[in-house]
């Protein structure tokens, strides 16, 4: 079953997955930015 069918069937779950994915990517980029900021200060 494709993931889009699941998102269409249960949009709340899709929103939850999307938010968690987005927060994960955001936190990773934030950690990388802080790392480089500390390194090149």
The per-residue pLDDT for range 1-19, each reduced to its tens digit, is: 566 666 567 777 778 888 9
How many Å apart are CA 3 and CA 19, to the nearest integer?
Answer: 16
What pLDDT, on a 0 to 100 scale, did the predictor assign at position 22? Answer: 92
Helix (H/G/I), strand (E/B), else coil: 2 = coil
Kindly give the residue spans of alpha helices, DSSP state H, lying in 1-41.
3-9, 11-39
pTM of the model: 0.47
CA distances in angstroms from 41 to 7, 27, 37, listed in the order given: 44, 21, 6
């Amino acid at each position: 079953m494709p993931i889009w069918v699941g998102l269409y069937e249960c949009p709340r779950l899709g929103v939850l997955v999307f938010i968690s994915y987005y927060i994960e990517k955001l936190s990773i980029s934030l950690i990388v930015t802080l790392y480089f900021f500390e390194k090149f200060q």
